[in-house]
Amino acid sequence: ADSGTSLLAVPTALYTTVQNTLGAILNEDGLYVFDCTQTNNLPVVSFNIAGTIFTLDSSNYVYEMEGNYGNILCVSAFEDASVNLWILGDVFIMKYYAIFDMGNNQVGFATAVSNSSNVQQVGGGALNLSPNLLGILIPVLFAFCRLWF
């Protein structure tokens, strides 16, 4: 996971295969796009990381942008990594909270909290979590990390 990468970077050798498998079509501007009327029918993408399955559906990996003619394009969030590795960027981190434990050289993931009445956004992108949520979240994160590593 990488918070400095916005999209999901795919190894160059797999990039076209991933786009084709998802049903994306390369448009005249060099973007892989989907038919916006069909995005609810796109496949779920699964990542198997150390035996745990993490899924992304089309609401996670398709984003809308305005085209050159004012039309709306549904664009694939998969990009060519230009190297032989995957980079799980913000698209992944928006769904799965990442814990970077540099002291132990490990990363843990948990389902991100979103649209919750227990979370209050404050300035600078910080979150205020209610004590009830913290009481639940902290033991779950520690248990997850123990199972993970």
Rounded distance, CA 146 to CA 9, Å? 28
- The proportion of the chain whose per-residue pLDDT surpasses 70, expressed as a percent, equals 73
Rounded distance, CA 93 to CA 73, Å? 23
Q: What is the pTM of this model?
A: 0.70
Q: What is the pLDDT of residues 102-130, one digit of tens each?
A: 888 888 888 877 634 444 444 333 334 44
pLDDT of residue 1: 55
Cβ atoms 42, 22 nearer than 8 A: yes
Burial (Cβ within 10 Å: 0-12, 13-18, ≥19) of residue 58: buried
DSSP strands (E only) in the chain:
8-10, 25-26, 32-34, 45-49, 52-56, 62-66, 72-76, 78-80, 87-88, 96-101, 106-111, 119-121, 127-129
Q: What is the pLDDT of residues 21-57, one digit of tens each?
A: 999 999 998 999 999 999 999 999 999 988 889 999 9
Mean pLDDT of the chain: 80
